[in-house]
Amino acid sequence: MNDLAGKHIVLGLTGGIACYKAAELCRALIKEGATVQVVMTEAAAQFITPVTLQALSNRTVYDSQWDARERNNMPHINLSREADAILIAPCSADFMAKLLHGRADDLLSLMCLARPIDSVPLLVAPAMNREMWAHPATQRNLAQLQADGATLLGVGSGFQACGETGDGRMLEPQELLQDVIAFFQPKVLAGEHVLVTAGPTFEAIDPVRGITNLSSGKMGFAIARAAQEAGATVTLVAGPVHLPTPRGVQRVDVKSAANMLVQAVDSAGAATIFVATAAVADWRPASTAEQKIKKDASGLLPALEFVENTDILATIAQSPRAQSGALYCVGFAAESHDLLQHATAKRIRKGVPLLVGNIGPATFGQDDNALLLVDADGATEIARNDKLTLARRLVAEIAQRRKAAANPA
């Protein structure tokens, strides 16, 4: 899967030590299928050579508005018209001020000013010292650039080349890549707040043992990422998994089903869509031993009693907000056999408009999956694919169904 296949990105570099990251960013964009045209300012060439970027992009680097290679001597027109987006990374404080005032005294600024605003978006990845970043002038410039239609990709925080620590670092190449990919995704969930539960739960028997399952959380994390890409505010309540948090997603880590219930119910109060992908334990030990249970010479298993956990999906689906239509609920069913039969029954039992079924042993821990969408009208199969592709398809389905539910014919 190449998320940027067919996209042509103009990558602009301005003066800053973060130019070294632009080399990796250029390569990452190309690996995702984009073509990249690099345009550098004179100051950028003090930090990284055009030869490096030319080798990585496989295209001649432009650095002068007087470049004679263009037949009409108008590289600022030609390069901007070819682009699907202009990405300035790194973008210095000086260059942001230049963009704000419409100054055009070099090729890159001239190209940004000459771009067709409606068809060639401008993405800005700032990079500067923490004091420069915090300065009121910089913050005013950022606000105005956003008001003028530019997309600000934010900054990182940490150790800076000057030896200080704070905000202002350019985001890492992989973070910027994810932001660029997200930018091009359809914003079908703009204005929505999506709550996703993901991963297994862990029900403690004693301080070192417990009951859990093989869910990796990958499907739920992919859905959280896809929802964020689609323009939603996303809260991810995650069981004990070792997965990185998707960009722009608020994550809450929990352990047991009881923990997840509390966090999910609390977060559902602000959500408009709830997607319950978590593989929540149906039962838990009636009591948890305070110390590790030891074997004895009898060879007998210790007596364990279990109680049923509260059903998180059913609890939220039966809440007043869900019943009124303010919260659209989507359930997941991980089965081992007879998927359609069990998923259909579960949808009715839980009282949700849409239930997504899959075969647990065939998907737990895997990077791909196959889905069965079950609603009141029947079932739709979605063929096996990588989980992010499936998540984007599911998000599009949810957006369409929620819109239809909110505006019945």
Contact criterion met (CB below 8 Å) for 192 and 178: no
What is the C-alpha to C-alpha distance for residues 127 and 14, in angstroms, rounded to an integer? 9
Average pLDDT over residues 326-345: 89
pLDDT tens-digit series, residues 154-183: 999 998 888 888 999 999 999 999 999 999
Contacts of 86 (CB under 8 A, 6+ apart): 9, 10, 12, 80, 111, 112, 115, 120, 121, 122, 123
| pLDDT for the residue 68 | 78
pLDDT beyond 70 at 409: no
Q: Are residues 173 and 205 in the same domain?
A: no
The reported pLDDT for the residue numbered 303 is 84
The pLDDT of residue 365: 80
pLDDT value, residue 144: 96
Looking at the fold, whether 102 and 198 belong to one and the same domain comes out as: no
Which pLDDT belongs to residue 170? 96
List pLDDT tens digits, range 59-77.
999 998 888 787 787 888 8
Residue 2 backbone dihedrals phi, psi, to 5 degrees? -115, 105
**Do 176 and 197 share a structural domain?**
no
Q: Is residue 2 part of a domain?
A: no
Q: Same domain, yes or no, for 324 and 208?
A: yes
Domain that holds residue 344: 193-406
- Reported as a pLDDT band with limits 50, 70 and 90, residue 56 is very high
pLDDT tens-digit series, residues 267-316: 999 999 999 999 999 999 999 999 998 888 787 878 889 999 999 999 99
Judge whether 126 lies within some domain.
yes
For residues 159 and 197, state if they share a domain.
no
Domain count, the chain: 2
What pLDDT does residue 296 have? 81
Q: What is the arithmetic mean of pLDDT over 122-144? A: 96
Point out which residues pair with 335 in neighbouring strands.
359
Q: What global pTM score does this model have?
A: 0.91
Q: What is the mean pLDDT of residues 38-62?
A: 96
The verdict on whether 112 is a catalytic residue reads no
User: Could you give the CA distance from residue 301 to residue 304 in angstroms, rounded to a whole number?
Assistant: 9
Long-range contacts of range 26-32, CB-CB < 8 Å, 24 or more positions apart? 26/53, 26/56, 26/57, 27/56, 28/173, 28/174, 28/177, 29/4, 29/177, 29/180, 30/56, 30/57, 30/58, 31/2, 32/2, 32/3, 32/4, 32/5, 32/177, 32/181
Asked if residue 137 and residue 286 are part of one domain, the reply reads no
Catalytic residue among 19, 26, 91, 162: 162
Report residue 30's pLDDT band, with 50, 70 and 90 as the boundaries.
very high
pLDDT score, position 179:
97
Query: Are residue 345 and residue 203 in the same domain, yes or no?
Result: yes
